[in-house]
Structure 1
């Protein structure tokens, strides 16, 4: 197992080989020191059992304002590439009673009923996108990430928010991209992007206060806790940012990775088409083997935590959760853990988190995927990649796991 004195493993911000890095980190032990972009040191946890333990340990916090000394002392500048991931104040970054208050307020607005009510719109948007693809001339290469995997989640999330303006949707999309693809040479300053997105969403909140509708933004404005207190303005805005980041990019990658996996495993696609395995199996195995989030920053040790085998996670140290590595943990899934296999008996993963911070949007992401995937393969039974799988380029990110483009031919 790695020890604090060992030289930290340097994470590649561009994510050129997230699975190779995951294997390297795993080989260094269940928890090991790594260097993040900007020279920030953290503990990377790749072992699924240890991750589960830490995700439910009250001695682990998401609140940098309370539990990260470097942040509290002002040593982390807005120029740090991951600044926006720590600076926001919503239920994902809250701790203890504050987290319970925020999650309760959000849960009261983002209900099972609201998710289920989106099904007709998801199916309608899916049909519209497929109709547009059907108009592409035969033999034309189509980027399925851009034309299908991307527009479905952004339209769903914007309708959920009550955003009708196309220009606002494009601005929201641009900002969401910038948070994840921090490894690009031309990556914008995430602090500036965060401020821009907060301004856009403050405008949306002001509009919904004046003209409330049947949407999540209006429901969050109306939500009250046990003491009849609403979400504060900054909490409202940052909660919408959380829904955007957790509910959009991740679903894009889920669709992208599932389509790619099926096109590169025709025998397994045949099993799905025959009905011998379900589309739920496809989604769960994609989440396990090609999780949308490879690594998620950051959590912090509230106090010294004994990890066993003489290794102690010191108080105040940042923690990087390696969800992609955990999904491929050979201690859970055997030596073929890296293989995509829809018939796998156990598809345990942490793609939606675990414990009190488990993603509230998981049912929506699953609903979108189990609607969009069968519709796509039914509409285009001859769908195939336009080139060799090895030619696909990964996203320039060590956080987000997907492809820059997914070029396909819609018919044989």
Structure 2
């Protein structure tokens, strides 16, 4: 992983490096240094990989203020990144490429979001529930046929969101290995710049070909609908498809696997979840808060002018990073924040999906997938348990999206 040049020090002294080291035996807890920083000085000077000295936010109120304030920009040409390997069409510190809307400010960002938001409404996602339930049941059937043990990542957590986003976009699922492998390289911060850009190029070429074929014969899917509207160029469509494809499976897959791991390690919470069907929706929100899988370097914003924030002056051009794991464990917002409580009141106040104009476009889809998949998994396999000691489960500590690389599980054969 590309490390920051400064050492982690106390507030008020040298700029800190982003804390990344989790305590041994605590796979679900953020680095303990984040708690100390939030208590001492929740807006802290932080060093970035290129020598820039910006800021780190570790409390909920300040994070919401930054993410909602139009004086803070998400444009790559004005902000610095925490780590060196960050794939982006056009290159780092360059304007966002056409269609790469997640790195644009209004009004450019607004134009793209307006085209896409209606395709991800709560109502539309509810209409997808029967298909998501069928995909989930198919994966559970395959697990049952295979025996009494499996790697839950490859057998369940990864295929479900991959299948769903493929159907939604119009991407052939037969190509899932290609985009799953390449996107994994893109989000791994130990990938070299050459590896990252090669993976980005492979996916871009693949989706550009898909866009060309879709123009010839638009299907009844999201990409086909965008083509039919006739407002977007091939480059714009390719980059939009890339964002949705990678984001649509990487995050949800890791939440499904890591969330299952967390439930298996909290048997009382799991028992409550199994006993109460009504708990499913709130359980998803609490797991999103508790796990905060976007744990390294996101989100970041750059000040477009001098801004007074939390009693400090953030100067024009300085980059501010919001630590979602720290923010979602802020005890001022979430009492007993270190505890997993599936019935927590106010769990939905988490910022796992961001806040403001850049709040995650696909958040309703992710919620539906998780709610259906968690419930179905534990209904089908009520005796599901880890097949290895918890300490042997390999973690994705160097990935921008936290999770487990494998989750060996087992269950009793049906009698």
TM-score by length of 1: 0.86
Alpha-carbon distance, 1:383 to partner: 0.4
1-structure distance, mates of 2:169, 2:289: 29
For residues 152-181 of structure 1, give each alpha carbon's deviation from its aligned partner in whole angstroms, at most 9, with x where no partner exists.
111111111111251x32211112212222
Q: Give the 3 Å change call, closer, same or farther, for CA 398–337 of structure 1 in structure 2.
A: farther
Of 351-360 and 116-125, the range deviating more from structure 2: 116-125
* Contact 2:162–2:176 under 8 Å retained in 1: yes
Equivalent residue for 2:30, pick from 19, 44, 57: 19
Kept in 2, the 8 Å contact 1:81–1:189? The answer is no
8 Å Cα contact 2:162/2:173 also seen in 1: no
Task: Provide the rounded CA distance (Å) in 2 between the counterparts of 1:246 and 1:169.
Answer: 14
Aligned to 2:16: 8
Q: Is the aligned partner of 1:189 residue 2:158?
A: no
- Match of residue 161 from structure 2: 153
Give deviations 1:11-65, integer Å, cap 9, x for gaps: 5499997711532443452222334456665422121111111111010111123
Q: Do the aligned partners of 1:31 and 1:44 also contact (CA within 8 Å) in 2?
A: yes
Superposed, which structure 2 residues align to 1:125-144 within 5 Å?
125-138=135-148, 140=149, 142-144=150-152
Q: 2:221 aligns with which of 215, 222, 234?
A: 215
1:180-259 residue pairs with structure 2 within 5 A? Answer: 180-183=187-190, 189-223=195-229, 230-259=231-260
Paired with 1:83 and 1:409, the residues of 2 have a C-alpha distance of 37
Contact 1:283 1:366 in 2 (8 A): yes
Mark the CA change 1:39 to 1:408 in structure 2 (over 3 Å): closer, same or farther. farther
Q: Which residue of 1 aligns with 2:85?
A: 81
Cα drift, residue 282 of structure 1: 1.3
Q: Is 1:306 paired with 2:308?
A: yes
1:105 corresponds to which residue?
115
Cα deviation 1:235-276 (Å, max 9, x = unaligned)? 222212221232211101221122112211111122122217
**Where does residue 337 of structure 2 map in the other structure?**
337
On the 8 A contact 2:279/2:343 being kept in 1, the answer is: no
Contact 2:15 2:53 (8 Å CA) reproduced: no
Distance in 1 (CA, whole Å) between partners of 2:229 and 2:355 is 25
The 2-side partners of 1:250 and 1:94 are apart by 21
1:260-339 equivalence runs, <5 A: 260-275=261-276, 278-295=279-296, 296-309=298-311, 311-334=312-335, 336-339=336-339
Measure, in 2, the Cα distance between the counterparts of 1:64 and 1:282. Answer: 35
Q: Structure 1: which 5+ runs fail to align?
A: 225-229
TM-score, reference length from structure 2: 0.86
What residue ranges of structure 2 are gaps of 5+ in the alignment?
1-9
How far did 1:150 drift? 0.8
Once residues 257 and 49 of structure 2 are traced to their aligned partners in structure 1, the CA distance between those partners, rounded to angstroms, is: 26
The residue that corresponds to 1:227 in the other structure is none
Question: 1:89-128 CA distances to partner (integer Å, 9 max, x unpaired)?
Answer: 4221110211111111122444555433322221121111
Q: Is the 8 A contact 2:22 2:30 kept in 1?
A: no
Alignment CA distance shift 1:42-1:11 (3 Å): farther
